[in-house]
A and B are shown apart, each in its own frame.
Chain A
């Protein structure tokens, strides 16, 4: 039995206000309709020909970039918005966590709001009375429940909204990115509650940008892009495909930025040659001509996964015979913390001679870094520190993964448990 059946659903929005949608009064009367047909330039397609089925008892994830139509899809399933064309069938009582506490009135107390919100979501007054302590307890608001809601912090507001909505006991739960605002102790509680729902065989449609959670709790995932379905399938595979797509996009924007910077630099050659810029200095007896980041296969790249390897390719040219030289690089994270730095001198390479053009590359077998943007310093200098050419923060790359670990770097590690400690294996 299917809980949600979506057949060829499209939703078209107008770009601007609907005022110009109205016909003249005369034609409205003649044709019995207020609206005129709109030109296609005035329209935006939020969803285009979406079809899929969610089986009862399944947790179905929806992922995609901002503006890909996820929220519109959820609103259509909830019945808040009607599809422009297509058909949708929902079997069972729906509760939508689209905006928590949307119906709260700021002037009246939390207690009264719980009742009204509960009734709005389809509970009977007696049911609310029975569940009241449970609702307030879950939201951890026992002390403040009789204060007006306008005095609540946004976290308290959200907790109460979530608590009411989750206690409606629906057959189908729609969740739209609402967990993003919770604090470190409340979010796991919500996830527990959602797990509880899954165990009781309820259907969940889950929209989120938190890909790790999607991967963990969903049975199937649909990936929307620009209002169309890219793929539907097994979570791990879809999330990976989506991440790859995001990485490709970031790659392109990095590339574009790099080109813009190159244009900027050639456009003002004086300052370029002055010798000392904020992020480049040295007299360039040995010049760094080009720095390229590649993956282990040698493809130029700017977005890496944590266990991927990276090669730093440095093209240099010496304008005279130089016998004292050191090559080095440093990696900094976005907080400016030095993650790692080394050079050929520290690693006891003895310089002998450099003359004319050349190439230096350093291969890192696995980055072992956490999520984030990293900046690279690349330099060539004398052993006493006199710089020939020093590039500070001029190169950057991104590490992107679903892992949620903390710190500066990821230490390679393996967990082991003695037989007395029971754990479910991690899906990774």
Chain B
């Protein structure tokens, strides 16, 4: 397989990718009253539910939150927003080749564009939500005593995004290609994502006592690439600390290998798409 050649072909398609992403974003909320604000409201509503359940009913039990449900809500928001990007990319890419089957069957169209468009348009969604997350942080810094202020570490967020993009794309290639042949993946995926969500430190911090005590839990969580990615957002935005370079670097490496593997599977199955979707 000539991967350089394929990448060059992809580069030629950048205008098409750009236009398809714009189309995707325009079409998604066409006909809704609130329009693209939904890309902010969806994670916000989810965050409110978690804040009520985990913040007010169960109560934050970690020193980082200083018993403040509002601080806990901010922590949640830092994790839920990028998670939404990841999980909706995964769910959409599992369907994308079937939904756009007409393109693959009737038009000469490089199929790998479709998962790329899915991950990218969800990334743009995430970017829409990001200013609101920053505004929330600003408001909380002003109003809640004891909240950690903004630090320069916020500028490191784009690095975390790159790692997440690579990993999401590898996952999207793998899912989209395999779902064409095994439609069961769609059903497995929604269950897997629920499990994965709770296996990632999003509703709880890594510094939680019960995690720190158990070496099994710590190993298990650190094997999950999303732990390091979500952790990156939390440390640069919520804690205002330097990123954990070792974990994130290794995750990037693993994500690159995973992307290569995902693309390999996609490329191998490519010829079977027109007759199977």
Contact = CB atoms under 8 A, between A and B. Distances in A.
A25 to B, nearest CB: 12
Contact of A108 (B15, B23, B105, B107): B23
19 contacts: A18-B181, A18-B275, A34-B269, A78-B108, A79-B108, A81-B275, A98-B106, A99-B105, A103-B102, A103-B103, A107-B27, A107-B30, A107-B31, A108-B23, A116-B23, A119-B16, A119-B19, A120-B103, A120-B107
Nearest to B101: A102
B15 A119 contact: yes
A421 interface: no
Interface centre among B19, B31, B109 (most CB of A within 10 A): B19
Nearest to A123: B15
Interface size class of B (residues with CB under 8 A): 20 to 34
A124 B182 CA distance: 37
Interface string B1-23: 00000000000000110011001
B181 A103 contact: no
A81 B275 CA distance: 8
B16 A102 contact: no
Contacts of B272: 18
Contacts of B269: 34
Interface in B82-123: 102-109
Interface size class of A (residues with CB under 8 A): 20 to 34
A105 B27 contact: yes
A103 B274 contact: no
Interface of A: 13-14, 17-19, 22, 34, 75, 78-82, 94, 96, 98-99, 102-103, 105, 107-108, 112, 115-116, 119-121, 124-125, 148
A120 B12 CA distance: 11
A105 B23 CA distance: 8
A108 to B, nearest CB: 5
B61 to A, nearest CB: 43
Nearest to A81: B274
B102 A99 contact: yes
B276 A17 contact: yes
A19 B181 contact: yes
B244 interface: no
Interface string B251-277: 000000000000000001101101110
B277 to A, nearest CB: 11
B268 A19 contact: no
Contacts of B102: 99, 102-103
B218 interface: no
Contact of A103 (B27, B31, B107): B107
Nearest to A33: B268
Contacts of B30: 107-108, 148
A19 B30 CA distance: 37
A192 to B, nearest CB: 25
A82 B108 CA distance: 11
Nearest to B110: A120
A98 B107 CA distance: 8
Contact of A80 (B15, B31, B105): B105
